[in-house]
Structure 1
Amino acid sequence: MARVVCVHGIGQQHTGERELHRSWHPALADGLIRAGAAATLGADDVRCVFYGDLFRPPGRTLALGDPPLDASDVEEGLESELLLQWWAEAARTDPAVLPPDARTLARTPQAVQRALNALSRSRFFAGVALRSMVLDLKQVRGYLCDPALRDAVQQRVADAVTGRTRVVVGHSLGSVVAYEALCAHPEWPVRSLLTAGSPLGIRNLVFDRLRAGAAGSGSPGDWPGAVEHWTNLADEGDVVALVKDLRPLFGERVVCQVVHNGARAHDATRYLNTAEAGRAVDAGARW
């Protein structure tokens, strides 16, 4: 019967609910301390929704010469366009990354390979294998473009929210999941939404594909259900959070704040242990 429900983002297919809880719960509790909040969070007050296993294929026997994922596996459309946008944003914030030129932005196979090569040298993707970058792109496309997968993820959020839930936290792709869940369930008693490292503001690729309202009856940009307070956190160097200010798309009620996460700009716990996150949780957690 958690009061705070958390929704993870991309690249978590090899973790699980309990692993996420072990890092997210203390980070949220520290954020409350940084904010000087009176509210406290016990372990049972926080529940982490896990859906990463839905992206993890079943085991199989490798065929002879079965290759790992590479640039040729990046599909045209959402995957390649998002990759090129990540590259442009990484170049904007990281002097070590050469920016794409007009010729590169033609979205050719060579452009995809150059984008992957450039991102592999960036601070943001330091230590991230090419295979993992391609898988991250496929997870975003999978959620946004596969209705059955989307429904399965949404059901896991619905199963976690109860009559005692007052705060929903969404990180990365999880912010998209959380937003859609709250739009679909205005009857939930959730007061506060905290999004961090969110891609919600990316027009065409993400924003325009949002499913708002019950059975998609609403429009992208609708206010998320009965939420009273929405705080969005972004690090200036977070490539996934391409658009830091969500207000032009979702309205002036969204409190948009830039935080500083150091070398791990997209790290969930570095977002959650900030005073800004603590104030957002406290706004809804006055139970």
Structure 2
Amino acid sequence: MTEVRFADYSDLFVDAEAQGAGADLPMDDAEGTAFLEDFVAALVDELSTQAREQGDRRAAAVVEDARAQLPYGGDEEEQGLGEPFRVLGRALTTVLQIPGLRGAAQWASGVPLLWHLAQVGRYLGRREPADDGRTLDVRIRERVLHGVDPDRPLIVVSHSLGTVVAFEALGEYEGRVPLLMTLGSPLATAAAVLHRLKPQPPRTPDPVERWLNFWDRDDIVVGRPRIEKWMLPNATGVLPETDRVDSDGMWVHTAVKYLRQASVAGPLVEALKK
């Protein structure tokens, strides 16, 4: 019998005791600011490359406008921690004016998108300890693996930040993983994410027997499909296999949109039948 588990760790990102100006910021330290600057700059670079390859002059002009707004090594103490977030939010708002992204994005402006990206940075920051000293990333991985029986095959479908969590959690897992699916993943964002992963250098988790990675060109969170070039194989030689999907309509970053694609759902159904 197949069992389905959904790992929800959204409550771990909520600080009920947060007060003051810091509560209005997605990250309130210099290291978190640096991550977001790297992440947004990487996204802008990816979009610039796509616009150039497609010969889309309008998109290229929008991207260059956004690039001109990016902060570069400013003194956060002098300008205040909030200022880089406002600048990055404006740059992302500009990026979202690209026609394809404007029609597909689930964010009306760059500010809520920045909050979404900041969750990746908070996880990779490996701070925010609980009373017992366990950092945020440790608590999230424990939540994901809690109750999983390593004596039964585990098929993992992960999305967005969840792909980063799944990658690291499976490195600690001792059971079989016939299939790992990563949807809308920021793992390939080398400048911001790849070099912050554990272990280093990144390699396919040993339990994984097949890794399928899917991306949508209009999904702003996803880097270009280079992950198989930047990831080392595991002991059995497994590397991620990347395929592009093209979703229609709004909110292409959602897991539901990816799972509606036959190229995504098909391999998942076949794996579940085995």
Fold shared by both chains (TM-score > 0.5): yes
Match of 2:39 among 82, 90, 108: 82
Would you say 1:100 and 2:58 are equivalent positions?
no
Match of 1:181 among 137, 144, 169: 169
* Displacement of 1:235: 0.6
CA deviation vs aligned residue, 1:101-144 (integer Å, no higher than 9, x gap): 67545525485354133135342545435442232232111100
**Residue pair 1:183, 1:222 contacting (<8 A) in 2 also:** no
Residue identity opposite 2:40 in structure 1: L
Q: Residues 72, 223 of structure 1: CA spacing in aligned structure 2 closer, same or farther, 3 A cutoff?
A: closer
The number of residues matched between the two structures is: 236
**Residue pair 1:199, 1:243 contacting (<8 A) in 2 also:** no
Moved over 6 A (4+): 70-74
Q: Which residue of 2 aligns with 1:257?
A: 243
| Aligned equivalents of 1:144, 1:169: Cα separation in 2 | 20
Q: Which residue of 1 aligns with 2:131?
A: none
**Residue pair 2:105, 2:252 contacting (<8 A) in 1 also:** no
**Residue pair 1:191, 1:227 contacting (<8 A) in 2 also:** yes
* Displacement of 1:181: 1.1
Q: Residues 54, 103 of structure 1: CA spacing in aligned structure 2 closer, same or farther, 3 A cutoff?
A: same
Match of 1:54 among 6, 9, 12: 12
Q: Residues 169, 226 of structure 1: CA spacing in aligned structure 2 closer, same or farther, 3 A cutoff?
A: same
| Aligned equivalents of 1:126, 1:87: Cα separation in 2 | 18
| Aligned equivalents of 2:226, 2:258: Cα separation in 1 | 16
Would you say 1:135 and 2:115 are equivalent positions?
yes
| Aligned equivalents of 1:77, 1:85: Cα separation in 2 | 12
**Residue pair 1:199, 1:240 contacting (<8 A) in 2 also:** yes
| Aligned equivalents of 1:203, 1:149: Cα separation in 2 | 22
Q: Which residue of 2 aligns with 1:115?
A: 91
Match of 1:170 among 146, 158, 176: 158
> Which structure has more RCO (C-alpha within 8 Å, separation ≥ 6)?
1
| Aligned equivalents of 1:66, 1:141: Cα separation in 2 | 16
Residue identity opposite 1:51 in structure 2: Y
Q: Residues 72, 120 of structure 1: CA spacing in aligned structure 2 closer, same or farther, 3 A cutoff?
A: farther
Query: What TM-score comes out, normalization by structure 2 length?
Result: 0.73
**Residue pair 2:176, 2:207 contacting (<8 A) in 1 also:** yes
* Displacement of 1:242: 1.0
Unaligned segments of structure 2, at least 5 residues? 75-83, 128-134
* Displacement of 1:164: 2.8
Q: Which residue of 1 aligns with 2:77?
A: none
Residue identity opposite 2:62 in structure 1: L
CA deviation vs aligned residue, 1:47-75 (integer Å, no higher than 9, x gap): 11001111112167x76x99955999995
Residue identity opposite 2:183 in structure 1: A
* Displacement of 1:201: 1.2
Unaligned segments of structure 1, at least 5 residues? 4-44, 213-218
Residue identity opposite 1:133 in structure 2: L
Q: Which residue of 2 aligns with 1:202?
A: 189
The aligned runs of 1:262-273 (5 Å cut-off) are: 262-263=248-249, 264-273=251-260
Q: Residues 113, 232 of structure 1: CA spacing in aligned structure 2 closer, same or farther, 3 A cutoff?
A: closer
Residue identity opposite 2:44 in structure 1: W
Query: What TM-score comes out, normalization by structure 1 length?
Result: 0.70
Residue identity opposite 1:246 in structure 2: I
* Displacement of 1:165: 4.1
Any idea what SS the aligned residue of 1:233 has? Answer: strand
Any idea what SS the aligned residue of 1:239 has? Answer: coil
Residue identity opposite 1:83 in structure 2: V
